[in-house]
Amino acid sequence: MTDIALNQSRWHFSNWPVWLWSFLGALIVWVASFSLAGQGASGMLVAALSFAVFTVLVGLGQMFVITLGPGNVDLSIPATIGLASAVAMKVMDGQNSLILFGLLAALVCGLAIGGFNYMLIRLLRIPPIVATLSASFIIQSVGISYGRGLQIKPPAALTDFTFSRIIGVPVLTIAAVILSVIAWLVLNKTIYGRTVSAVGQNPRAAHFAGLSVERTRLLTYLMSGVLAALCGALLAAFSGGSSLSMGKEYLLTSIAVVVLGGTSVAGGRANVPGLWGGALFLFMVSTLLNTAGFGSGLRDVLTGLIIVIAIALAGSRSASR
């Protein structure tokens, strides 16, 4: 009877939605933070919702890229964030009337970078990891030339927007949730989204089935560039100005939230809700370590370990199925 009950318990937990685990992890860390921060931990949730927005933005793009299959990952995201933030701030020039033009300039910058990444992959036959890493060095060089000495404050209206709240919930969080819903609909209800999953499962079979494999890859890398650029523009407004190094932390984080959220690193299976759980979990862990007095080095090591463990667990889960 004990063995039967144990087997039933294992079966029960194995059938939990994947995205629930990331939220459960965030909840456990948040509860644990009360022992260190006391009542201050209650404000951590609002802060987590505010900062998770930027992680989710880049995570959505990275998720679509990783879903394309093994080897597909966008390592140019940090450089794109830095350059797009500089472009946006320079075009806006601190004026409220130029906010729309600055945002459009940042998005065009993201489109150009996404297209450049795909060109390296498609025309030069360079593996995506190598191509996007190489592109990041070029983007950084352009950013240094373009944004050197750039000290322009964001328009007041845009800054106010990034900090505004509705019933205590950050407006940026609400907007990011809406964007996540749209991404879920695109992934599950459109031909493009289903093609992304099909390519990730078997690109040759998708090609022989008549699906537009290369057009799908192009659109995916364009999307990743645009979302990273949007993150850069909003992050610059949120933090009080642009910086070429402001996207540095999102290289590892964008991959971590995708893996923690339940997206398969082998491709073919994405999970949008899990991105939020992964983003909240990583922020909670980082904040908890900061409260405990640990430095950024340990946070990076821990994040790397979390990714390795998540990939191992995902692999064992697939094998058991």
Q: What local confidence, expressed as pLDDT, does residue 321 receive?
A: 47
HSE, CB side, 13 Å, CA atoms: give it for residue 67.
30
pLDDT at 128: 92
* Whole-number pLDDT of residue 303: 67
Per-residue confidence (pLDDT) for residue 238, from 0 to 100: 92
22-32 pLDDT tens trace: 778 778 877 77
Q: Which residue has the tokens 């404050």?
A: 153
Q: CB atoms < 10 A from the CB of 318, how many?
A: 11
Could you tell me which of 56, 1, 59 has the C-alpha nearest to residue 254? 59
Condensed to tens digits (0 to 9), the pLDDT of residues 177-203 reads: 999 999 999 999 999 999 999 999 988
Q: What is the DSSP letter of 124?
A: S
What are the contacts of 10-19 at 24+ separation with CB within 8 A? 14/317, 14/320, 17/262, 17/273, 18/261, 18/262, 18/271, 18/274, 19/261, 19/262, 19/271, 19/273, 19/274, 19/277
In 3D space, the residue among 275, 299, 304, 298 whose CA is nearest the CA of residue 55 turns out to be 275
pLDDT confidence of residue 178: 95
Host H or E run for residue 169: strand 169-170
Q: What integer pLDDT is reported at residue 5 of this predicted model?
A: 47
- Does the domain made of 19-315 have the CATH classification 1.10.3470? yes
In sequence order, what are the residues at sequence separation of 6 or more whose Cβ sits closer than 8 angstroms to the Cβ of residue 263? 63, 66, 67, 269, 270, 271, 274
Tens digit of each residue's pLDDT, the chain (321 residues): 455 444 544 445 555 666 677 778 778 877 777 666 555 556 677 778 888 899 999 999 999 999 998 889 999 999 999 999 999 999 998 899 999 999 999 999 999 999 999 999 998 888 999 999 999 999 988 888 876 666 778 999 999 999 999 888 889 999 999 999 999 999 999 999 999 999 999 888 888 888 888 999 999 999 999 999 999 999 999 988 888 888 888 888 888 889 888 888 888 888 898 899 888 888 888 777 777 666 667 777 776 777 677 666 655 554 454
- pLDDT at position 295: 67
